[in-house]
Amino acid sequence: MTTNTSHFTGLRFMRLGMLALGIGMLFGVIGGFQFLFPEFLQELLFTKTRPMHVSMVVSWIFLVAIGGIYFYLPRQCNLPLFSTKLAKAHFWIFLVTGIAIIACYLSGNFGGREYFEFPPILSLPIFVMWTLFGVNYFKTARQYRKPWPVYYWMWGTGIVFFFITYAESHLYLIPYFRDNMVREIMVQWKSYGALTGSWNMLVYGTALYLAARISGCEKYARSKMAFGLYFLGLFNLMFGWAHHTYLVPSDTWIRTLAYAVSMTELYIFGKIIWDWRASLEDWQKGRHCNAYRFLIAADIWVFVNLGLALIISVPFFNLFTHGTHITVAHAMGSTIGINTMILLASIFYVIREELPEAAHAGCSSQLRIGYWTTNISLAVFFTALVLAGVGKGLYDGNSFQEMMTNIRPFLLVFTLSGVTMMIGIWIILWHGFRLLGQIIARGESPAPAAVAAPEPA
């Protein structure tokens, strides 16, 4: 046994991310009730609960993806972290900045744009911590002397392009962009579309890492299809945003190409995970039953979301669906159904590796309850949003109030299913948070050689 505490920072990132998701779900439910009943909890207005919900959920994605990278590199990939001090500084800057952002929202001090509605001055520490993360990652990963598996490329690309696209999202601070509505909308949608692509790189890279580890074979991280997914994802990151901008002037071929690439990326990712599932032996599925279960859920939601995306990206249908609840359903399918399921798989993979004696004991039945409650609720939630969006898109009257009355039953179902989904996720998070805390408390680490990365098949 050797003592190595560098990976504990990664686990702390994961636990902080779990807190962010739990709180973010609560604000989402409160916002849902406020949308239906404006008098509900007037002390905390919808204008505050919505950005709190969005920022918390986006933070969940980044925190757990970052935590996984900080954990896997020194712990399982035999790559000593370049600087534990930089990783700890990254964590504390994230935490302090997050608290400052929450304080701004609660006090009504807003700024920025979609996803990041806090005063832009708070973006400065975000740039600092991503610089620390990038330096730490690349100086650590360059120790790997063989050709990189695809997940190293995905993680590195996600880090670099987050920095670039996040900087681009602040162009509204320059009068040239801010003073022209069309120009600002184009830049805003372009930057945020690419920003989503950057965190998808981090999350999809994590999924392929888990696939390689659970199977004990690196072929899913070194295959032509895996690298095809990487290059499609890179292209989609840079150009796929265009299919979100049908309502502003742009050439048709740009929108069509972006639409085709983004759909292909989803399909290939889904196929890789589906083929991986078919290749596993029963003992491999059983050994990592919780991580496997969440990865399969993510794969199912890939194909559900792909079906919806194929429809709403057709320009004719997009004219009616853009800005309706169908767009929200697509975003929720991606954020909860795909990204969140992959990140939960990452958390429970770590738990199985570090606490094998606790992975199946005591909480398996509760985890199953949480798993099925979450996914069934998400299916109802998703369907209600789609139906509400159809009702709004097809409404041909002149009264907004009448239209909202027509779709109110769907919105009520959406809100109630959000409550049950929150409960299901809380059950999962509670067990994960507690078990990760046990790992940190033990302060023990098996010899890195015992969990060395498998060689390419």
Q: Report pLDDT digits (tens) over 391-430.
A: 887 778 778 788 888 888 999 999 999 999 999 999 999 9
Q: Please choose, from the candidates 297, 236, 311, 312, the residue with its C-alpha nearest in 3D space to the C-alpha of residue 268.
A: 236
Q: Are 352 and 295 in contact (CB under 8 A)?
A: no
According to DSSP H, which parts of 108-245 are helical?
A: 123-141, 150-168, 175-178, 181-215, 219-222, 224-239
Q: What is the mean pLDDT of residues 207-220?
A: 86
pLDDT in tens, 170-185: 888 898 888 888 788 7
Lookup: tokens for 453: 């990365």
Q: Which residues does residue 2 pair with via DSSP β-bridges, in sequence order?
A: 445
State the average pLDDT for the chain. Answer: 84
Q: Provide the 8-state DSSP code for 454.
A: P
Cβ(252)–Cβ(189) under 8 Å? no
**pLDDT of the residue at 456:** 41
Q: How far apart are CA 107 and CA 445, in angstroms?
A: 43
Q: Would you call 450 exposed, middle or buried from its count of C-beta atoms within 10 A (0-12, 13-18, 19+)?
A: exposed
Looking at residue 231, its pLDDT comes to 85
Q: What is the pLDDT of residue 20?
A: 96
- The tokens for 430 are 């509670």
Higher pLDDT, 244 or 310: 310
Is the pLDDT assigned to residue 444 strictly greater than 60? no
Residue 218 main-chain phi, psi, to 5 deg: -85, 5
Q: What is the pLDDT of residue 451?
A: 46
Residues in the chain, overall count: 457
**Range 95-122 average pLDDT:** 90
- Residue 112, sorted as left (phi over 0), alpha (psi -120 to 50) or beta, turns out to be left
Task: Determine the Cα–Cα distance for residues 172 and 188; give it in Å rounded to an integer.
Answer: 8
- Cα–Cα distances in Å, from 239 out to 232, 258, 342, 356? 10, 6, 24, 43
How many Cα atoms within 13 Å fall on the side-chain side of residue 268? 21
Cβ atoms 270, 306 nearer than 8 A: yes
Domain boundaries, the chain: 288-443
User: How far is the first Cα of the chain from the last one, in angstroms, to the nearest whole number?
Assistant: 29
pLDDT digits (tens, 9 = 90+) for 254-285: 666 766 666 676 677 777 777 777 777 766 77
pLDDT of the residue at 448? 44
> Helix, strand or coil for residue 116?
strand
Query: Are the C-beta atoms of 343 and 60 separated by less than 8 Å?
Result: yes
E strand or H helix that includes residue 437:
helix 400-442
pTM (2 decimals)? 0.90
Matching residue, tokens 């370049």: 82
Burial letters 21-30, b for 16+ CB under 10 A, else e: bbbbbbbbbb
pLDDT, residue 453, reads 46
Distances in Å between the Cα of 299 and the Cα atoms of 72, 149, 201, 368 are: 22, 21, 16, 18
Residues 6+ apart with CB under 8 A from 438: 355, 358
Cβ atoms of 54 and 102 within 8 Å: the answer is no
- Between 443 and 198, the more confident residue is 198
Question: Comparing C-alpha atoms, which of 340, 203, 190 is closest to residue 269?
Answer: 203
Give 51's Cβ-side CA count (13 Å radius): 24
Per-residue pLDDT band at 326 (split at 50, 70, 90): confident
